[in-house]
Structure 1
């Protein structure tokens, strides 16, 4: 199984949690200290996820494109990176004759 690097997993979760805290703060009390702390934390986590994903050698174009989505892009990229390649499809209709 392909296991994504640990720093990428941590940053992806930090990105999602920081965004959730920011949105909860805006929806409730809108405290300025919370915004001034979580805003830069979210921005740094987002940039780290995007850059770390783009630097991975095994990251496909789809993984790199998904990593750019704010909030959940890091987790979606992790999901795509963690997938195993599926088994080869079975031949249809009888015996398989390679060319």
Structure 2
């Protein structure tokens, strides 16, 4: 798999896990959901940062946008000049 494909997967997992966490917090607040999705979201966030810094052709703004929690991966994909 290429770095770009892995970044796409990690960005989707990061955004989806944040959505699940916020929905859980706003509705029923089940502790098990938070215990499961919190580490998943954290790992996806870290993976997005690492993948963004390893992605060739990505500028400084793209790398810095990876540091935005929750939507950083989506921002990187938006800034990255796709072939």
Residues 51-72 of structure 1, C-alpha deviations (whole Å, 9 max, x = no match) = 1101122111000011110111
Matching residue of 2:58: 59
Number of equivalent positions: 81
SS for the counterpart of 2:42 is helix
Does 2:2 align with 1:31? no
Q: Distance in 2 between matches of 1:21 and 1:39?
A: 10
Residues 27-72 of structure 1, C-alpha deviations (whole Å, 9 max, x = no match) = 1111011000000000000000001101122111000011110111
Q: Between Structure 1 and Structure 2, whose CA radius of gyration is higher?
A: 1
SS for the counterpart of 2:80 is helix
Q: Distance in 2 between matches of 1:29 and 1:62?
A: 38
Q: TM-score if structure 1 supplies the norm length? A: 0.77
Q: TM-score if structure 2 supplies the norm length? A: 0.91
Moved over 4 A (4+): none
Does 2:9 align with 1:14? no
Structure with the largest fraction of helix: 2
Q: Distance in 1 between matches of 2:10 and 2:69?
A: 12
In structure 1, runs of 5+ residues without a counterpart are 85-99
